[in-house]
Amino acid sequence: MKIKIPVEKGKSYEFSVHALGSNGEGVGRVEGFTVFVPGALPGERLRAKVTEIKKTYAVAHIEKLFTESCDRVSPRCAVYEQCGGCQLQHLSYEAQLRAKRQQVIDAVTRIGKQPNLFVAPTIGADDPWNYRNKMQFPVGKEKGQIVIGCFARNTHRIISTESCCIQAEGNNTLIRAAREIIRQLHIPVYDEDRHTGILRHIIGRVGKDGALMAILVTATRELPHEKEFVRLLRQKLPQLVSIHQNIQTYRNNVIMGRETRLLWGQQTILDVIGGLAFHISPRSFFQVNTAQANVLYSKALEFAGLTGSETVIDAYCGTGTITLFLAQKAYKVYGIEIVKPAILDAQKNARDNRVKNAEFIVGDATEVMPRLYKQGVRADVVVVDPPRAGCTPIVLKTFANMRPRRIVYVSCNPASLARDIAILHTLGYSAEKVQPVDMFPMTSHVETVVLMSRVKEK
């Protein structure tokens, strides 16, 4: 039966907003039909024009606000309304934390079928601004001018910025310096529609004490005026310690290619989380909010409940950040990761931090964990920090088959987390503690740590 849609594209409607969506947009209803309104907040009455219609929802933009939320604030960023980098600068920080907690509550209630599961208040950042230690900004040209910044919402049009409010200041200085040098040296910038030009992205990484790494992503192996580019960057950025060129020749949206050349300086920069030092290379995964990463990992360590006698498996260990945290209080930790370069980074990080009770294994957790079990390894605790899509049912079954006392699940996606909580519940594990952590202030994203314990058999 065809569902009647009560709104038309191009027409305006007056309605109230009752919630925030998972991408930070306001959610309202017109005759029971869901309408998403970017920039709107719960409690607001507005008139909005419909710009897009799907089978189960519509999208509209605000034409007039009749009633404003008491949580509405003026965005700090001058290009906030055009830029797609942030979604919540118009919402007070205290309200952001409440909204992110509600996002987790809604997910575990509706998707996870756990209506009585308590979700703790979101742990916020001491300073919600200028926290990102990594920047990946596309480079382009608009009306003859060089533009560097984030893409506009739902487009690939670059919104040029002089200073991003959530980027570490070192990255902002890199944006300004790179723009000047590109103009001065007449470096051809990339046009993704035509697949022409050379400079595609400017990537910045800020480490301990403000040390700065610059990565120039090019569509060709040659970077015109390479030596002069390097000289001018060094001249303008005294905190710069490393300059790389990454070569990305393919016609796609993947930011970095497989080949990286060191143009000048150190191969890596150093950063510290919780007393552990990590060497970060151009393609290394490292949490973009160093201070909140310490909060997140400390909470995961707390939930693991280690006394020094436990064997722990970190099933998606990446470059070993959580693994090394766990190793401080465990008897033995196994880190499993399917990406070999990440394991090589993890092994180096373990050596550099003189951690001898962590072993890193390349492979799929569904194959490695049964093999460890056959070798006599019995995990007391399994820690999992999967990609945004979460875990497959076979991965969750593999965890349960090892019969650990506790599973600590770290997630960047409340929806996939809630789904996996429900699956683990059927496999004999009950969620006990849920702690959201705000890793990405001013955006709609939230990290969550969940403690799941094995249900005692009757």
At residue 2, the pLDDT reads 63
The arrangement of secondary structure in 134-273, i.e. its CATH architecture, is Beta Barrel (2.40)
Helices 93-110, 414-426: crossing angle, 10 deg rounding:
30
Catalytic residue among 83, 165, 317, 412: 412
Q: Indicate if the pLDDT at residue 458 is higher than 50.
A: no
Q: Are 243 and 216 in contact (CB under 8 A)?
A: yes
Give the domain ranges of the chain.
12-67, 102-125+289-454, 134-273
- Please report the pLDDT score of residue 275 as a whole number: 92
| pLDDT for 334 beyond 80 | yes
**Topology alike, domains 12-67 and 134-273:** yes
pLDDT in tens, 50-102: 999 999 999 999 999 999 999 999 999 999 999 989 999 999 999 999 999 99
Amino acid identity of residue 212, one-letter, is L
Would you say domain 12-67 falls under CATH 2.70.150.10? no
DSSP string, 59-117: EEEEEEEEE--TTB---SSTTTTTBSS-S-TTB-HHHHHHHHHHHHHHHHHHTS--TT-
Q: Which tokens go with 130?
A: 């200028």
| Encoded tokens for 385 | 């920090």
Mean pLDDT of 378-394: 94
Whether residue 1 has pLDDT greater than 60: no
Task: Calculate Rg over the CA atoms of the chain.
Answer: 24
Average pLDDT over residues 22-42: 96
H or E element that contains 37: strand 33-37
Whole-Å CA distances, 274 to 22, 126, 452? 31, 16, 24
Distance CA 403, CA 377 (A): 11
Two structure tokens written together for 138: 């596309």
Distance linking the first and last C-alpha atoms of the chain? 48
User: Which amino acid type is present at position 273?
Assistant: I
Of 97-101, 124-128, 239-243, 398-402, give the lowest mean pLDDT range: 398-402
Active-site residue 164, yes or no? no
Q: Strand 311-314 and strand 381-384: pairing?
A: parallel
| Mean pLDDT of all residues belonging to the chain | 95
Strand order in the sheet with 240-247: 158-160, 145-151, 134-142, 199-206, 212-218, 240-247, 259-265
Q: Which fold has domain 102-125+289-454?
A: Rossmann fold (3.40.50)
